[in-house]
Amino acid sequence: MTASTQPPKTDQKASAKSTHPSGDKRFKVIDITMKRNQHRQDALIEVLHKAQEAFGYLEEDVLVYIARQLKLPLSRVYGVATFYHLFSLKPSGAHTCVVCLGTACYVKGAGEIMTALEAKTGITSGETTPDGQISIVTARCIGACGIAPAVVFDGTVAGQQTAESTLERVKGWKE
Ligand code: FES
């Protein structure tokens, strides 16, 4: 058996693209927006907007990633994210449930999941239960359309969710 001695060719296209090491597909949405704007720093608001659509809110990890990719000081990115009311930083609940209400998820029942969740917790998107246990957030396409409807429980994406499976998961957070 002869092993090839040829070193692997460097794929220039692959090395030029920016992707988050976690492999989380939601970062792809941010990457595409930055690329479309040629990583221009003045596209920060648009990039933050897309990030919020993908994640439901802006958490530190996301802000750090954007700052790095756009070569901006983190303080500047934080400054913009906290200045504009349309952006929300990580919700305050001990647990966070992000329901994707993008088209693919919506047609597969994300609306029912949201309704059941609201009825169960007594809160709606952007709110935290009075005991501080659960925050609910909505997003518009988290990049997991193939497993729609998708819900993100404490940062972990779960596919093919139903109202029942979602409530079951959240029930555990209340105890
Ligand atoms: S619409 Fe929900 S993951 Fe794309």
Q: pLDDT tens across 120-174, in order?
A: 999 999 899 999 999 999 988 888 899 999 999 998 889 999 999 999 999 988 7
pLDDT at residue number 167: 97
- Residue 58 token pair: 């802006």
Measure 32 CA to ligand 1 centroid, in angstroms: 16
| Contact 145 CB / ligand 1 (< 6 Å) | yes
Q: How many CB atoms lie within 10 A of CB 122?
A: 10
Measure 33 CA to ligand 1 centroid, in angstroms: 17
pLDDT at residue number 151: 95
Spatial separation of the C-alpha atoms in residues 34 and 121, rounded to whole Å: 36
- The yes-or-no verdict on residue 117 having pLDDT over 90 is yes
pLDDT at residue number 7: 41
Spatial separation of the C-alpha atoms in residues 62 and 73, rounded to whole Å: 14
Measure 28 CA to ligand 1 centroid, in angstroms: 13
pLDDT per residue as tens digits for the range 7-66: 444 333 333 456 788 888 899 999 999 999 999 999 999 999 999 999 999 988 999 999
User: pLDDT band for position 175 (50/70/90)?
Assistant: low
Domains with residue ranges and CATH for the chain: 12-83 (no CATH), 95-171 (3.40.30.10)
CB-based contacts of 56, cutoff 8 Å, min separation 6 = 98, 137, 138, 139, 142, 152
Q: How many CB atoms lie within 10 A of CB 172?
A: 9
